Amino acid sequence: MVRARIDAVELRRADLRRPFPRQFATRLTGETVTALDRRAKYLVASLSSGETLLMHLGMSGSFRVVREEQPSRTGRAQMPREPHDHVVFHMSSGNAVVFNDPRRFGMMELVPAGKLRRHPVFSALGPEPLSDEFDAAALAGAFHRKKTSLKAALLDHRVVAGFGNIYASEALHLAGLSPRRSASILATPSGAPREAAHVLVAAIKQVLEDAIGRQSGAVYRDSRFLVYDRQDERCLKPGCGGTIRRRVQAGRSTFFCPHCQH
């Protein structure tokens, strides 16, 4: 999409999680995508108009790129439809970028020029987990005297942006920390990071880097996790021999090994 012009936008329904913005297709048509970035779980497309196209995949959304056939004399060739194809961006490059979302929890929004930083979804976000800003000192500072559990605290996007439920369980297992312990254990009384904070930050970065390395088609969808969704199975950590348990914390499923996570 970057450096290509949006020649047409095809909306195959009136809404996703919520209705599309006013004159959505009209405002996008003819605009060039000047940059494409990510912040937390949002895709951020900068447009030549100064507006920003904000996109979220929801729980089941995905994009695919399709090379379009040459337009016929009667106009643009029809895109082959797949079930749940809801939005098609026809690009000047000859590619179509198709958004598919079976559960329709995805979202697309247009943010006016100059208002992105003040947008509600960005104004309170913490550092990106793979950035240099996210380190043991930042984590300890956020968890200092915090009484909530480690697992629940990690899902607060004011602490770390876009870090989700699955990888919180995975990182805590890798770090050997019980998800039920108080978040405050990561900090000294003065707010300085304890050794556990360094270990957990390293584990968070490792599980995300490993996951990114697996993100391709069926390999990504069929990936086996170390603890997530493995209730009553043996722990895979070498030399452990424990059994994975499931608990509900803050309304979310937590998977952990009580034998090796303390």
For residues 54 and 92, state if they share a domain.
Answer: yes
Looking at the fold, whether 143 and 114 belong to one and the same domain comes out as: no
Nearest to 135 by CA among 125, 124, 143: 143
% the chain with pLDDT above 70 = 92
Can you tell me the mean pLDDT for 126-141? 96
Please write the tens of the pLDDT for every residue from 90-114. Answer: 999 999 999 999 999 999 999 999 8
C-alpha neighbours within 13 Å on the C-beta side of residue 94: 4
Cα–Cα distances in Å, from 140 out to 45, 171, 202?
Answer: 33, 16, 13
Neighbours of 75 (CB within 10 A): 8
1 is a domain residue: no
Q: Do 150 and 113 lie in a common domain? A: no
Q: How many CA atoms lie within 13 A of 260 on its CB side?
A: 22
- Residue 129 forms part of a structural domain: no
Q: 119 with 148, same domain?
A: no
Question: What is the per-residue pLDDT for 75?
Answer: 54
Query: 155 and 101 in one domain?
Result: no
Check whether residue 116 and residue 146 sit in a common domain.
no
**Is position 261 within any domain?**
no
CATH number where 154 lies: 1.10.8.50
Domain presence at residue 182? yes
Helical segments of the chain, H only: 24-28, 120-123, 136-143, 150-154, 165-175, 195-214, 217-221
**Residues 166, 228 contacting (CB under 8 angstroms):** yes
> Residue 121 has what pLDDT?
85
115 and 147 assigned to the same domain? no
Under 8 Å between Cβ of 87 and 10: yes
State the CATH number of the domain containing residue 18: 3.20.190.10
Q: How many domains does the chain have?
A: 2
CB neighbour list of residue 133: distance below 8 Å, 6 or more residues apart: 127
* Res. 61: pLDDT tops 90: yes
Q: Is 69 among the domain residues?
A: yes
Is the same domain home to 116 and 179? no
Instruction: Specify whether the CB–CB gap between 255 and 227 falls below 8 A.
Output: yes
Helix, strand, coil percentages (3-state) for the chain, rounded to 5, are 25, 25, 50
In a domain, 128, yes or no: no
Same domain, 157 and 119: no
Question: pTM, whole model, 2 decimals?
Answer: 0.80
The verdict on 170 and 197 lying in the same domain is yes
pLDDT at 124: 85
Last residue of a domain, one of 96, 123, 150: 123
**pLDDT at residue number 72:** 47
- Look up the domain containing 207 and give its range: 136-256
The amino acid sitting at 191 is G
Tell whether 187 and 227 lie within a shared domain. yes
Residue 206 falls within a domain, yes or no?
yes
- Examine the domain organization and report whether 163 and 198 are in the same domain: yes
Q: Is residue 130 part of a domain?
A: no
Interstrand relation of 42-47 and 52-56 (parallel, antiparallel or unpaired): antiparallel
Q: What is the DSSP letter of 183?
A: G
- Which is nearest to 169 in space by CA: 239, 219, 229? 229
Chain segment 11-34, per-residue pLDDT in tens: 999 999 999 999 999 999 999 999
Q: In whole angstroms, what is the distance from residue 110 CA to residue 53 CA?
A: 5
Confidence of residue 256 (pLDDT cuts 50, 70, 90): very high
Does residue 76 surpass a pLDDT of 60? no
